[in-house]
């Protein structure tokens, strides 16, 4: 009796084994003396054995491939202590608060696994981080404040297209204040507005929304009426 056969993918790349790919990644690391590198950099290498996208698919992620070859993943979870230390070292080297360009150069020269943009995400700005560092160094703030990711401002609650249309329809496509209508005057533009502003806790429910023309909306600003 023939054995039951299952169609199962047991190999992805018939050209190169995992061991060969790992050897190639190691070779790249040795040639450039780096502890981590990106997919784009590997792809530009004339001695690559296969494109980095294939490697990523083969290993599940680029980070997994790097780790399999003994490198650290390039875009690992950000380590704020490492980021702050790099910033301070760069600051010392420059003898003044580093500019974006100086920090960028410093990070790439020393192969840090994060870029200067990560600082904006984490600390808001280089300036803010510099002020925190100064306060901590001077003993005015506890060190822990350095490692707290800034809270992003909450996104403005937006009104869905469906709700906008419902409000315009309900208000008869006219400004509820002055009655201006694009039907009568093509220069009129209508806005759907929060009666109690978003900033004062007004909801985006239909009963807190109204149709205003540009002029009435500008005149209103954050007065809640």
List residues binding Zn ion (CB under 5 A).
175, 177-178, 180, 213, 216
Please identify, using beta-carbon distances, which residue of 126 and 180 lies nearer to Zn ion. 180
Q: Which residues of 79-99 are buried (b: 16+ CB within 10 A; e: fewer)?
A: ebeebbebbbebbeeeeebbe
Please identify, using beta-carbon distances, which residue of 121 and 218 lies nearer to Zn ion. 218
CB of 175 to Zn ion, least distance (A): 3
Q: Let me know: does 173 contact 166? Beta carbons within 8 Å.
A: no
What are residue 20's phi and psi, to 5 degrees? -65, -40
Please identify, using beta-carbon distances, which residue of 46 and 187 lies nearer to Zn ion. 187
Please identify, using beta-carbon distances, which residue of 146 and 213 lies nearer to Zn ion. 213
Please identify, using beta-carbon distances, which residue of 149 and 169 lies nearer to Zn ion. 169
Q: Let me know: does 194 contact 209? Beta carbons within 8 Å.
A: yes
**In this structure, are strands 190-194 and 209-213 parallel, antiparallel, or unpaired?**
antiparallel
CB of 205 to Zn ion, least distance (A): 22
CB of 224 to Zn ion, least distance (A): 17
- Interatomic CA distance for residues 175 and 185, integer angstroms: 12
CB of 111 to Zn ion, least distance (A): 59
CB of 160 to Zn ion, least distance (A): 23
- CA-nearest of 198, 135, 192 to 168 is 192
CB of 176 to Zn ion, least distance (A): 8
- Interatomic CA distance for residues 168 and 190, integer angstroms: 8
Query: Angle at Cα 78 formed by Cα 143 and Cα 22, nearest 5°?
Result: 140
Cβ neighbours of residue 71 under 8 Å, at least 6 residues apart?
25, 29, 34, 35, 36, 37
Please identify, using beta-carbon distances, which residue of 74 and 174 lies nearer to Zn ion. 174
């Amino acid at each position: 009796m023939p054995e039951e056969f299952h169609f199962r993918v047991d190999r992805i790349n018939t050209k190169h084994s995992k061991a060969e790919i790992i050897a190639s990644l190691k070779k790249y690391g040795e040639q450039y003396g780096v502890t981590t590198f990106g997919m784009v950099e590997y792809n530009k290498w004339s001695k690559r054995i296969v494109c980095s996208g294939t490697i990523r698919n083969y290993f599940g992620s680029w980070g997994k491939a790097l780790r399999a070859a003994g490198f650290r993943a390039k875009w690992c979870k950000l380590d704020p202590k490492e980021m702050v230390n790099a910033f301070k070292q760069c600051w010392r080297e420059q003898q003044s608060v580093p500019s974006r360009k100086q920090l960028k150069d410093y990070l790439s020269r020393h192969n840090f696994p994060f870029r200067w943009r990560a600082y904006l995400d984490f600390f808001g700005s280089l300036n803010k981080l510099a002020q925190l560092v100064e306060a901590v160094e001077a003993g005015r703030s506890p060190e822990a404040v350095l490692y707290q990711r800034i809270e992003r401002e909450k996104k403005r609650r937006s009104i869905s297209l469906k709700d906008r249309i419902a409000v315009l329809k309900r208000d008869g496509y006219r400004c509820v204040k002055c009655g201006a209508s694009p039907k009568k005057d093509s220069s009129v533009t209508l806005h759907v507005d929060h009666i109690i502003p978003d900033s004062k806790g007004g909801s985006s429910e239909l009963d807190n929304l109204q149709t205003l023309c540009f002029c009435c909306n500008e005149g209103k600003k954050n007065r809640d009426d």
